[in-house]
Structure 1
C-alpha cells in the first residue's frame, strides 16, 4: 500500500484493539535523579537515552550524556524499580548494550567535529567498574551485540557540525562501521575491522554518517546512514552485501504549518525518509524509524526487505492515530511532526510486536506484526518527555522506555525510565480520543471543563496553545475511552476569534457558554468574560473592571461558574491588590452588571507557586481546584476544596473583601500517581459535575510543548 493511500486510512481502523490479554499498561516510573548519590546536586541536568537489559531481565542500564554516566536500575520487582547508581564514563556515553554481566558502552571523547574520537568501554555490572577500553578512532553513535554474542557492531558517525554550511554534507572525516570480536566477555581490540561506507550514497557519498546498527541471526549488520538517506547491509564477512537509498514518501492529509491550528488537510512534497533507528524483524526484513535530520523525516516508519524492497510504509497513518489521542506536537508541524526516533521488536508469546517510538509526541506505538505487510496498530502508550530508546523484555512481559528530556531547570518533568507490562487487562490509556471523527479532530491543551446538556456529555475548551483556532469540544464520557464527538471553533463575526486564552467554561442554560478568558497584557490578550452561542459565535465580551485591571498580572481568570444569575470567576494567583496567599473569587451579576468579590485563602506555597485552576458548582457548594505548579515527586498540592454558597457574599471591589472558609474534599495526588503509574502531572485544570453528580477531572497537556502530552480524564465520584 502506498504512503499516499495510507494517509487516508481511517484512524478508527488503525486503532482496532487486540484481545484484552494483549494490552500493555505502565506499571512504574523511575526518575533518573534517583540514581544520584546522597549529597549530589540533583538539580543538574540528566537524561535517559539508550537503554538495555541484562540477559536475566533483572537489570537495566541507560546512557546519561549530560552527566557522563551509565545508569543502572534493579527491576527485580518491575513495579518498584530500585536505583543501583551511576558509573562515570569519562566522556559522553552515547549507547550501551549488555552481554553476560558486562555492558559495552560507546563513549564519545571528541574534542571537535573535525577531530572525532571515541572508545568502547567494558563495564562489569557486578562491581559497577570499568574493566577495559577499545579505541575506535572516531565518535560512536550506536552499538549492537550479535545474537550469538560473538561480536559487536559500532556505528562510528563522526557527526557533522550543523552550524557549518547550514549542516550540509560533506564534512569530513567520514564515518564507518567498526566490527569487534568478543570472546568470554572480552573485546579483541586488536582485531577491530573497519568497514568503509564511502561511495555508496547519492547524497554526501564521500561523507557517510552511520547512525544506527542492528545485527540479525545470520550475523548480518544493517546500518542507517541518516543524513545520507541511505541504508546498507553488511554481510557476516564484514563486506557490504547490499545498499540502497532509503527513498522518499509523499504525505497527504498532514499538518505542515506551525500556525497554532490543528488541521490535517495539507500535503507534503516528496520527503526523504532519513531513517534513524533500525531493527531486524527476521533475517530478511527490518524496520526503520524515519526521524529525519538534515533535509527529511517522513513522520513514520517503513518495513524493508534487505534488498531494499519496501514491504510496508506507514505514511501519515501513525501521525493521525497520535493526533487522535491529543499528542500531536503542533509546533513541530513545519518540521518533522511527531518525529519517529527509534524502533524495538520482540515476540511476546506467539505475537510479534513492533514498538515505534515518537520523540516529539512522547508516545510509543505498539503494532501487531503478525503480517509484516499489514501491521495492526494495537495501542499507543504514554511515555515521558521525548522518549529516545526502548527495550522489550518478553520473558517478563515487559517493555521499557528511556525518556531523555530533563525540564527541571524550568520547573518541569525530569528525565525518566518507564516500565510497561503486558497484562490481561484493558488499556488504561488513552482516557480521551477523537478516534472516529471525520475529518480528524485534533485537540489538546484542555484548560476548561463543564457538563453538557445531555446525560454523559462533557464540554471542554482549549487554551491559547492553539491561538488560531480557540475551540470548544463535546465529549461522550459514557464510552471508554471517552470520545470527542465534535469541535466548534470560537468565532467573532464568522472568523476564528483571536486573542483568546480560554481557561474556564460554563453553560448559559440556553445552549451557549460563558468563557473565562485569561488575559496577558504583554500579548494584548484581554482579561474578560465572553459569551458564545451554541455555534461558538461570540455574542458579548465583558472586560474586567478598570479598578481591577489596574492591578493585573498575567495569571488571571482560570474558571467560571453560573449561580442564580451570577457568574463566579476564579482568579489563579494574587494580583497587585491581593494580600499574599489570598486570591479573588470575582462575581458578576448578569442583571445588574455589578462586580464584586470575596477572598479565597490559598494553601501555603512550597518551592513553586500556589493558585486556583477551576471553579464548579454542585448543590449548595462551589468546588475549586487548587494546585502548585510542580511535577512528579516535587508536587505537593493538587486538591479540591469547597466553599458554601451561603458564604459567597460579594463585596464591592473598592472596599474590604470578606475571606471565605474552605473545606478540603479530595487530595488528587494519589489519583494522579495511580491512574497510569506515571509521575504526578502539573496541570489539573478542569472540574465538572455531570448529570449524575459525579466529578470529572481533566489535565492540560500544554499542547505537547515541553510536556509528556498526557491528558488524564477521569470520574472522581460524587465528592460528598
Structure 2
C-alpha cells in the first residue's frame, strides 16, 4: 500500500493559526519520579515513568518504572500538588499497567534472554500495595489493555528481537502472539487464557510477528500493531482474527534527513514503511496509529484507519513541520525518524473527540480534534518532559497527564517526570515563541538584543547546536505567542559560517550586529568577536589576544553589549588566571582591538555557577548569573547589576579591579510559571529604555532536553 501525501488545505490553515481553539490544556504541575523512592534510597539512581494508567476515581496515576523494577503511584487528588505514594516491586521489568477497581494488572518481563523469553501478568492490590497473584504469559509482554467492561485483558507478547544480531532484521524466533485473559470478580482467570496466533499474516517476516501495542474498542474488538512487521491485525470479540493488512508506506516531500547541525527540510523520502507503534480506537470503525518506525522505517507521522484497512487520513510531514515551527525539532534525529511519534491515545472531552500524539524525540504532545476522522484539526502543542511515552486522559476531571521516561539524573540534569494538564477556558500558555511564515527551524536561543529603532522588535542568536547554520532571528513581540519573522544565517565568504558558538548579540547602531562566539578549542571552535552586516555577512573577526588565549577554557564569551563605541563581554566561568569564584568582564575596543577587564564575583552553588548574558540600561550593566542545575536542584537563576561607575577596566597585564554587584531579580519563580521543572539555561536578556526586560531560555536544540523555550518579560523595579 503506497500513498503520496500532501497536507490538506484545511489542516495547513489550522496549523498556521496563531490563536488556538478554546478550551485549551495548560500544564498545572510536574512530579519527579525520584520522589517515589524510599527514604534513604539513592535518589540519583536512574528511574523512569513509561506507560501510565489512572484509577477509576481519577485520583491516582500508576506508571511502570523499568529501571527500578516497580510500578510507581502518584496521588493527584489535588492535581496542582501531586504527592508520592511510593513504589511497588513487581519482581521483574514492568512494561504496562492497567487498572480495574482497586487492582492494577501489570505486564512483567522476566526473560533470561531474547531466545528464552518469559513474562507474567501480576495482579497488584493498590490498597495493600502487594502482588496478590501472577499469571504465566508464556513469553515477553509489551502492551497490556483492558476492555471497556473490565471483563477482558489482552497482552501483546512481543518476544522482541536482539537488535545486535543481523542488523536487527527479522526473523528472530520465537514468534510473538496475543494473550486474552478473562477477569472474573476482579481477578484474572489464568486457566481460561486464550492464545491468539499471529503467524502467517504479515508480508514482512510472517513467521516472526512481534506484536507491539494493542487497544480495545467498545465492542470488545482488538487492534494490534506488529511494528517490525509493518502490519496491523484486528481481533474480534470472539478472539479470532477478523482482519489484517499491511501498514503500508508513504512518500514524504520536504523533510530533514541529515544530522548536520542545521534544520533543512529540503529532502524527499520514498516508500517509507510506517512501522506503527501505539494504536488507539477513535470510534467503532476508526483507529489511529503513531508511526514511530523501527529497523526499516518510520514515516514521522500518524495515520487514521478504517478497520477494513483503508487509510482515512495520514499526517504526512505535519509533526516534523510543527516541531520546527515551535522550536522542538530534534535535528540530531533527522537521519533516523525525525520527531518520532511513539504514543497515541484518544478521549472524549465533552462533545469533542480528541487525539493526543506524543513526539518522543521532540518532547511534545500534539492535541487534535477528531470530530471528522478524515480531517483532524490541530488544536495545540503541549510541552512535556524528555521522551513522553505514557499518555493518560482523565476527561471526567478535565485533566490529562504524561509519563516522560528519560532520566538524566546525574550532575543536576533533568529527571523523569509525570506532568499534569488541565483543560480550561484560559489561553494556552505554551508555546511562547513560534516561527512565522517563511521561517524554517529554530532553537537553542542563547543571546538577545533590542532593535534600537523599534522596542517591540528583538534579535536573538542560536548557539553551537546549530553551528552549521548559526543565525540571527528577528522576533516580533506584539503577537502572542511572539513570532520569529526572519532568520538571517551568518555567512563567511558567501557560505554559512561554520565553527561558531554564538552566545551574544548587540546591534551596532548602523543596521549590523556584534556577535560573541563562546569557542571551544577542543572542538576547533575559536573564541571570537564578530561583526556582521544586515545580511549576516561577517565583516570583521577579532580573536583572543595571547594574554587571554594562554589561559582560556571552553566556557567563554556569554553576551555582548555596546557602550560608547566599546564592547563589553561576559566570560561565563573562571579561566586559568582567575581567582576561584571570580570571572572577567572584558572590554574590547573594536577599532584598535585593544582589551581590558574587570573581575566579577560569582555566588557559590551546586554544580557550577557562571554568567550567561549581559545588557546595558541606564547607569548599570545587567547580567544573568546562574547555576547549571535543573528542577528542584536549581537554586540560582538571577539578574544582577553592576554600576557603570565601577566599570573602570585595567589592562590585561595589570591587577584587575573587582566590582561589586546587586541582585535585582530571582528568576526561579519566573521559570516556575509554566509548571514544569525549572530549566537550566536562562541565556538571553534585553532591556528597553522603559525598564522592560525580555528573557529567553536556551532549549539545547532538544538534545537531552525537553526542548521548551521560555520567552517572557517583566519590568525592573
For normalisation by structure 1, the TM-score amounts to 0.98
Change (3 A) 1:580 1:10: farther
Q: Is the 8 A contact 1:3 1:314 kept in 2?
A: no
Q: Give distance in 1, aligned partners of 2:204 and 2:20.
A: 45
Correspondence for 2:553 = 553
Q: Is the 8 A contact 2:463 2:470 kept in 1?
A: yes
Q: How is 1:271-310 mapped onto 2 (pairs within 5 angstroms)?
A: 271-310=272-311
Deviation of the 1:11 alpha carbon: 5.2
Q: How is 1:30-69 mapped onto 2 (pairs within 5 angstroms)?
A: 30-69=31-70
Deviation of the 1:410 alpha carbon: 5.0
Matched, 1:520 2:520: yes
SS of residue matched to 1:33: helix
Deviates more, 1:404-413 or 1:346-355: 404-413
Correspondence for 2:448 = 449
Matched, 1:493 2:493: yes
Deviation of the 1:468 alpha carbon: 1.0
Correspondence for 2:423 = 422
Q: Is the 8 A contact 1:457 1:690 kept in 2?
A: no
Q: Is the 8 A contact 2:3 2:249 kept in 1?
A: no
Correspondence for 2:148 = 147
Correspondence for 1:687 = 685
Q: How is 1:472-491 mapped onto 2 (pairs within 5 angstroms)?
A: 472-491=472-491
Correspondence for 2:564 = 564
Q: Is the 8 A contact 1:8 1:253 kept in 2?
A: no
Correspondence for 1:542 = 542
Q: Give distance in 1, aligned partners of 2:440 and 2:20.
A: 27
Change (3 A) 1:461 1:18: closer
Deviation of the 1:409 alpha carbon: 2.3
Correspondence for 1:610 = 609
Correspondence for 2:234 = 233
Q: Give distance in 2, aligned partners of 1:18 and 1:150.
A: 43
Correspondence for 1:186 = 187
For normalisation by structure 2, the TM-score amounts to 0.98
Alpha-carbon deviations, 1:192-222, whole Å to 9, x = none?
0000000000001000000001001111010
Deviates more, 1:586-595 or 1:535-544: 586-595
Deviation of the 1:370 alpha carbon: 1.0
Deviation of the 1:455 alpha carbon: 2.9
Deviation of the 1:582 alpha carbon: 0.2
Q: How is 1:350-365 mapped onto 2 (pairs within 5 angstroms)?
A: 350-365=351-366
Q: Give distance in 1, aligned partners of 2:522 and 2:11.
A: 42
Alpha-carbon deviations, 1:332-390, whole Å to 9, x = none?
00110000011111111011110001100000000011111100000000000000110
Alpha-carbon deviations, 1:162-184, whole Å to 9, x = none?
00111110000000000000011
Q: Give distance in 1, aligned partners of 2:410 and 2:12.
A: 37
Q: Is the 8 A contact 1:388 1:404 kept in 2?
A: yes
Correspondence for 1:468 = 468
Correspondence for 1:458 = 458
Correspondence for 1:391 = 392
Q: How is 1:83-122 mapped onto 2 (pairs within 5 angstroms)?
A: 83-122=84-123
Change (3 A) 1:308 1:454: same
SS of residue matched to 1:395: helix
Correspondence for 2:330 = 329
Q: Say how many residue pairs are matched.
A: 715
Q: Is the 8 A contact 1:15 1:379 kept in 2?
A: no
Correspondence for 1:626 = 625
Deviation of the 1:690 alpha carbon: 3.1
SS of residue matched to 1:13: helix
Q: Is the 8 A contact 1:2 1:313 kept in 2?
A: no
Deviation of the 1:16 alpha carbon: 3.3
Deviates more, 1:470-479 or 1:12-21: 12-21
Q: Give distance in 2, aligned partners of 1:422 and 1:699.
A: 26
Deviates more, 1:15-24 or 1:491-500: 15-24
SS of residue matched to 2:337: coil
Deviates more, 1:258-267 or 1:323-332: 258-267
Q: Is the 8 A contact 1:458 1:690 kept in 2?
A: no
Q: Give distance in 2, aligned partners of 1:21 and 1:14.
A: 15
Correspondence for 2:634 = 635
Q: Give distance in 1, aligned partners of 2:388 and 2:4.
A: 25
Matched, 1:716 2:714: yes
In the alignment, structure 1 segments of 5+ residues that lack a partner are none
Q: Give distance in 2, aligned partners of 1:410 and 1:115.
A: 37
Change (3 A) 1:651 1:391: same
Change (3 A) 1:8 1:268: farther
Q: Is the 8 A contact 2:450 2:688 kept in 1?
A: yes
Matched, 1:431 2:432: yes
Change (3 A) 1:551 1:18: closer
Q: Give distance in 2, aligned partners of 1:705 and 1:7.
A: 31
